[in-house]
Structure 1
């Protein structure tokens, strides 16, 4: 337990450090978060395991918790776990911390509570703001987080963007399409499908930050309704009792 708490503390500090270097002047797009959309959460979990879990861990989350979003234990074991993992294991990173520090210059932070630290809008914008930059060791940079050490792991789905600078204005332009980008009208690229995929991923990361959020809200509404209907007759009877000598 102590080891887990220490890891979470490190993850929180790392995420704060992550955010302190970010470009706060960039406009953040609104993330379409819906924690009641279980299909979106399932797609997001699949993307997280396939693209994020190789470098980033999520030590506050267990694989079997994915049953809360409608997946069976068999589906989790077949599609969302490493062969050596067990369904009750924590979602630990497969990369060694020492290797990550050598390759990226710093150990990638744990993502268990990154959505609560940085916010869904930031994550949604950040994951869609990578562009090619040959001056960076990884060949990638990010408009939201300048000189980021993380490469664009979703480049095969989005394609490759370049940064266009006109005076003080910076704009990203898609140069080559990916698997989830289409050619729209007038030859322009349509990234709608890719944006949906990123939204699913961010949706899952928000869920992962507090898996009991939907249930907590449901319980809260139930308690408020109970108090509302319970207190009205109680208050009325108390009023009659206190004022009966006057009336």
Structure 2
């Protein structure tokens, strides 16, 4: 019992971190077999995230190969500072300057999907809203007092918390209904959600590039073990046949 209590006590802080302080998380229905989604996610990451957030444990060449992107096209459209395909995906932002600008250096995103979870990232990127009291003019429902700007605002538009009037006990009250963009973005609400899902899909891939291969090998291993179990059972019956 003491061991069980200890394990639960260790897991509770991890759950709180993943959930972002108890916020409701929307389900991210990502698909690592969807190459088009992964390619769009890579494009969004390189254009909107890499300026601050590195994925320094992933190489460009591995990304191009896994996502079915020809190296020449990858270099032209996804590499902006002349790196070689074999180099890691880094940016040129000095850590000291980043700490001064944002309060802390922007974290590396190589393992963010494994640490935070896909649902957390998906909800977080759709939870920014205007808050003039913040340094960058925005806040976030999943990560309150966030220290980064809403880098995808040109795609989403200006997001604001919205309310509607509703009747409660014979009295009209304002009821919070969520965050809605003002329509000034390049994408519709549905298109923006899809774009965010593509970005999440890419970050899930980056966190474990060999995941599909590992799962495929795992299926063969399980099949082998099942066959081996049958053979062992038959061998056991044959071995003990004369004893019984």
1:102-150 CA-partner distances (Å, limit 9, x unpaired): 2212110111111111111010000011111111111111111111111
Question: Aligned partners of 1:230, 1:21: CA distance in 2, in Å?
Answer: 39
Contact 2:157 2:185 in 1 (8 A): yes
The change in CA–CA distance for 1:119 and 1:22 in structure 2 (over 3 A counts) is closer
Name the structure 2 match of 1:75. 73
1:30 is displaced (CA, Å) by: 0.3
In the alignment, is the contact (CA less than 8 A) between 2:19 and 2:120 conserved in 1?
no
1:21–1:145 contact (8 Å) kept in structure 2: no
Aligned residue for 1:178?
185
> Gaps (5+ residues) in structure 2?
1-12, 164-172
Separation in 2 of the partners of 1:21 and 1:58?
20
Q: Please list the CA deviations of residues 21-61 of structure 1 after superposition, one character each: whole Å capped at 9, or x if unmatched.
A: 98523211000111111211111111111110000111111
Aligned in 2, Cα 1:228/1:26: closer, same or farther, shift over 3 Å?
Answer: same
Could you tell me the TM-score, scaled by structure 1's length?
A: 0.82
Write out aligned runs for 1:16-165 (5 A): 23-66=20-63, 67-164=65-162
**What 5-or-longer segments of structure 1 have no aligned partner?**
1-15, 182-190
Q: CA deviation at 1:169?
A: 4.7
Contact 2:53 2:107 in 1 (8 A): yes
Q: Cα RMSD between the aligned structures?
A: 2.3
Change (3 A) 1:122 1:167: farther
Q: 169-178 or 150-159: which moved more?
A: 169-178
CA distance in structure 2 between the aligned counterparts of 1:29 and 1:210, rounded to whole angstroms: 22
Is this contact kept in 2: 1:31–1:124, CA < 8 A?
yes
Distance 1:129 1:114 in 2: 17
Q: Which residue of 1 aligns with 2:10?
A: none
TM-score for both structures, normalised by structure 2: 0.83
Q: Distance in 1 between matches of 2:154 and 2:80?
A: 22
